[in-house]
Amino acid sequence: MPVGPQPSGPRPQRPRRSCLAVPGSSAKMLAKAQGLPADQVFLDLEDSVAPLAKPDARKNVVAALNDGDWSGKTRVVRVNDWTTPWTYRDVVEVVEGAGQHLDAVMLPKVQSADQVVALDLLLTQIERSLGLVGASIGIEAQIENARGLVAVDAVAAASPRLETVVFGPADFMASINMKSLVVGEQPPGYDVGDAYHYILMRILMAARTYDLQAIDGPYLQIRDVEGFRRVAGRSAALGFDGKWVLHPGQIEAANEVFSPRQQDYEHAEAILEAYEHATSEAGGMRGAVMLGEEMIDEASRKMALVVAAKGRAAGLTRPPPAGPPE
């Protein structure tokens, strides 16, 4: 039987507009998170859990996955990174204990493709030993330092289990010595652009090259929802699929910012409809036509497909056609 990462077919495209961080050490927050409207929850065993609390946090996370009601949510556990003494035990305890109730494992501070391959192999072993045939738990790779960003193309290609590449801005800022402690906001003294643009684009290109989702990290000023919207709006505008949320107050904003606006959704559906007609025999088999004041062609169809798919996934619908005037 092959031991290396095996292709398992295309990964499911799970909803991830809002990815809620839930400390695994807090039974109260693990219970509360189940009732919140986040697309994804990630139960954390890493930086929101103190070293001495990690063994108990693993148990809490297993119990919450098995006994909780997470219906409609993407369920992820963030383990500790491979430079710590905790990673293998995190993965073994959580996947052996609750693998059937888990969609993906998030690996933080990824620095090389090997680290993703190591997690893939460990997951494969556990799935085989449990007889979880075809269960195929996914992987989320968090890019949080210069080394990880430089390796991001190889990281994104490292395993067929990969579903997302995630930006970790707080650790990243520390890693490159950025002169600021305010995550997501521009460092004072930098007034010629967006200090995060290169990093976000590098992550987005790697993710899109391998058909993965690109997820933006946290905004720590949890009471400043307008600030959250502003920063989330930037990564959403570039094409990111979602962003972490640390507080219930950020969830609605994330779900909104990472969904198309109703008018854009309707416009996308109108382009698809008009272009399908134009290219058909009945429509004259034309590849470039006018839709109102706008020239549309095959590239317009591709852009419209993305917006329409995101809108449909977010539950948007077109208004019914207006009836004849009274």
Q: Is 140 in the site for Mg ion (CB under 5 A)?
A: no
Q: Is 218 in the site for ligand GLV (CB under 6 A)?
A: yes
Q: Is 168 in the site for Mg ion (CB under 5 A)?
A: yes
Residue among 138 and 169 whose Cβ is closer to ligand GLV? 169
Provide the β-strand partners of residue 20: 41, 245
Element (H, E) at 304: helix 298-313
Site map 69..108 versus ligand GLV, x via CB under 6 A: ---------------------------------------x
Q: Is 178 in the site for ligand GLV (CB under 6 A)?
A: no
Q: SS3 of 165, please?
A: strand
Minimum distance from residue 168 beta carbon to Mg ion (Å): 4
Q: Is 171 in the site for ligand GLV (CB under 6 A)?
A: yes
Is the dihedral angle over the CA atoms 106, 182, 33, 249 positive or is it negative?
A: negative
Residue among 140 and 144 whose Cβ is closer to Mg ion? 144
Q: Is 5 in the site for ligand GLV (CB under 6 A)?
A: no
Residue among 46 and 269 whose Cβ is closer to Mg ion? 46
- Read out DSSP for 92-119? HHHHHHHGGG-SEEEE-S--SHHHHHHH
Please pick, from the candidates 90, 171, 216, 266, the single residue that binds Mg ion as defined by CB under 5 A.
171
CA angle 25, 30, 34 (to 5 degrees): 165
Residue among 21 and 307 whose Cβ is closer to ligand GLV? 21
Q: Is 242 in the site for ligand GLV (CB under 6 A)?
A: no
Separation of alpha carbons 71 and 315, rounded Å: 17
Q: Is 169 in the site for Mg ion (CB under 5 A)?
A: no
- Nearest alpha carbon to residue 95 among 87, 108, 105: 105
Candidates 31-39, 129-137, 169-177, 281-289; binding stretch for ligand GLV (CB under 6 A): 169-177
Contact 150, 127 (CB under 8 A): no
Q: Is 216 in the site for Mg ion (CB under 5 A)?
A: no
Q: Is 24 in the site for ligand GLV (CB under 6 A)?
A: no
- Nearest alpha carbon to residue 120 among 73, 169, 155: 155
Q: Is 148 in the site for ligand GLV (CB under 6 A)?
A: no
Interface with Mg ion: number of residues (CB under 5 A)? 3
Burial of 61 (0-12, 13-18, 19+ CB in 10 A): buried
- Going by the DSSP 8-state scheme, the letter that residue 326 receives in this structure is -
> How far is CA 228 from each of CA 223, 309, 314, rounded to the nearest angstrom?
9, 25, 20
Q: Contact positions toward ligand GLV, by CB under 6 A? A: 108, 144, 168-171, 217-218
Q: Contact positions toward Mg ion, by CB under 5 A? A: 144, 168, 171
